[in-house]
Amino acid sequence: MNEKFIEYFRKNFFENEDELKIFLSSLSKHLKKTIRVNTNKIWSDELVERMKNLWYDLNPTFSKNVFYIERWENFDEIERRLWFSLEHLMWYFYIQELWASSSVFYLSDWVVDKKPYLILDMASSPGWKTTQLAEFYPNSFIVANEFSRDRTAQLIANIERMWNENIWITCYNWQFIWRLTETFDKILLDAPCSWEWIWFKAIETLRYWNLKNVKKIADLQEKLFESWLNALKVWWEMLYSTCTMNKIEDEWVVGNIMNKYPGSFEISFEKRFWPHIDNTWWFFVCRIKKLSSIDYRFSPKFELCNEDIKELSNNDRRIIEKFSKEKWLDLENHSLLNYKWEILAMKSGNSYKEIQKRLYFIRLWKKIGKIEKWEFTPNYYLWRDFELAKVQKYDIKDQMELDNFLRWMEIWENLKDWIVQIRFDNINIWLGFASNSWRIKNIFPKLWLRK
């Protein structure tokens, strides 16, 4: 093990050698897999029962709606890997490490808040915290910003699978975020860090740990923290978190910004998770409340490149109303927008209107279909979130047929309509489209198919 690493933690945290040995030995231990329940879609008790049918046990953790998951031994003829289960595909849970679920809990005080806020997730990929924000702030508009263009693909895939409608994605650096002076009600910064947590997967990476790299990352974190603080409205809260335990990336970053802008914020909560104490990977969270402005040079209210996002025309509205009446589609609690002939459905609210003039979004949700040739054509996302009472239903007969369908095989059935709602075990799986009167074409995204 890296002697520099050991000496750093001995000097800063462990005067007792026995406790240091316990800590070091915990770094190579296997930690249990955990999942987070998507409470926007299913109650925890219901998911516990559903997973038992797949030979999985869910056991509680210290975090609400996060469970340890263990699989029974079984001899089923159909392979049911966790990430290929229907419950995973249908957005009921997210495979997420225990420590990673804590930051949103501490920002929200473990309470679902239905007020309409404007929220920034400043470094959002791979999306686990972004989708969790959508659960705890279901009526808020969330800007999921990712600094690296290379990391946006995974972010998009996870948000798309979890099917959150009020999350739009941007790709800006910290210098641009600084220009959004006092714009957001709440901000989450799970900062890029030195990845000390990766040692639980590969303990040999400890040999590359050194203070020079740690300090280099901490310099970036301070810039992010500072721009983040400027973008937050006065009297509102934000949460800073890292997956490291060294003080340089944690307390020192917070302390340096506090010294630079004395009296600008106060710390309302701070916690470090230890592997040998909390039975989790290491993690640091710090929630602060902004008390005063740090930059009086407010950015101008200029309009950027979202001219393609428009209110529906009267003709478009009549076309969608006709389809809704025919299929009994209820869009009453949603605002509808037109984006390059695609229809966006968002939970009603105005929190997005101001920010859409100031940011360019590289991905928008929720697209529910297109208007072409004076008709509304729904896409395969429509059925996942909306009930269409008058659309023909098809119930998949058994696990074998389900497995085949999820491997992109078509279903042959006598049909009365060109739109079919596909279900299994009382779960609405997809909105299928009939290519002829006997075949339901599978248009599942390739990313979600079973291999």
Same domain, yes or no: 424 and 353: no
Q: Average per-residue pLDDT in the chain?
A: 85
Q: pTM for the whole thing?
A: 0.89
pLDDT tens-digit profile, the chain (451 residues): 788 888 998 999 998 999 999 988 888 777 788 999 988 888 999 999 999 888 899 999 887 789 999 988 765 555 567 877 888 877 899 988 887 788 999 999 889 999 999 999 999 998 989 999 999 998 999 999 999 888 898 898 888 877 778 899 999 998 889 889 999 999 999 998 886 666 655 566 677 788 888 999 999 999 999 999 999 999 999 999 998 889 999 999 999 999 999 999 999 999 998 888 887 778 899 999 999 999 755 555 555 567 788 889 999 999 999 999 988 888 888 889 998 889 999 887 777 877 888 888 988 878 889 998 889 988 877 766 777 778 778 888 888 888 888 777 777 777 677 777 888 887 777 766 666 666 776 666 666 666 6
133-192 pLDDT, tens per residue? Answer: 999 998 999 999 999 888 898 898 888 877 778 899 999 998 889 889 999 999 999 998
Same domain, yes or no: 370 and 441: no
Number of separate domains in the chain:
4
* Domain contains 18: no
Q: Pseudo-torsion of CA 151, 155, 158, 161, nearest 10°? A: -120
Predicted local confidence at residue 252, as pLDDT: 95
Q: Checking phi first, is residue 65 left (phi over 0); if not, alpha (psi -120 to 50) or beta?
A: left
Predicted local confidence at residue 74, as pLDDT: 61
Q: Tell me the two tokens of residue 3.
A: 């002697």
For residue 374, count CB atoms less than 10 angstroms from its CB and return exposed for 0-12, middle for 13-18, buried for 19 or more.
exposed
Predicted local confidence at residue 168, as pLDDT: 93
Predicted local confidence at residue 321, as pLDDT: 93
Same domain, yes or no: 318 and 377: yes
CA-closest candidate to residue 49, choices 39, 61, 41, 57: 57
Any idea what the CATH number is for the domain that residue 217 is in?
3.40.50.150
Residue 19: HSE in the Cβ half-sphere, 13 Å Cα cutoff: 10
Same domain, yes or no: 154 and 250: yes
For residue 235, count CB atoms less than 10 angstroms from its CB and return exposed for 0-12, middle for 13-18, buried for 19 or more.
exposed
Measured CA to CA, the distance from residue 7 to residue 259 in angstroms comes to 28
Q: Tell me the two tokens of residue 1.
A: 């093990």
Which residue type, as a one-letter code, is found at position 367? K
To the query of whether residue 305 is one of the catalytic residues in this protein, the response is no
For residue 15, count CB atoms less than 10 angstroms from its CB and return exposed for 0-12, middle for 13-18, buried for 19 or more.
exposed
Domain boundary among 364, 384, 404: 384
9 sits in which H/E element: helix 3-12
CA-closest candidate to residue 285, choices 273, 301, 302: 273
DSSP conformation letters of 86-132: HHHHTTSEEE--TGGGHHHHHHHTT----S--EEEESS-TT-HHHHH
* Domain contains 328: yes
C-alpha distances out from residue 89 to 65, 83, 119, 438, Å = 18, 7, 26, 26
257 and 222 Cβ atoms separated by less than 8 Å: yes
DSSP conformation letters of 139-157: TSEEEEE-S-GGGHHHHHH
Any idea what the CATH number is for the domain that residue 443 is in?
2.30.130.60
Catalytic, out of 193, 243, 286, 305: 243
Domain boundary among 95, 115, 138: 95
CA-closest candidate to residue 177, choices 230, 256, 254, 241: 230
CA-closest candidate to residue 217, choices 130, 208, 261: 208
Domain containing 411 equals 391-448
* Domain contains 336: yes
Same domain, yes or no: 205 and 168: yes
Query: What are the residue ranges of helices labelled H in 232-346?
Result: 251-260, 275-278, 314-327
* Domain contains 21: no
Same domain, yes or no: 154 and 253: yes
171 and 146 Cβ atoms separated by less than 8 Å: yes
Q: Tell me the two tokens of residue 419.
A: 């739109």
Predicted local confidence at residue 203, as pLDDT: 63
* Domain contains 23: no
Sign of CA dihedral 417, 421, 423, 426: negative
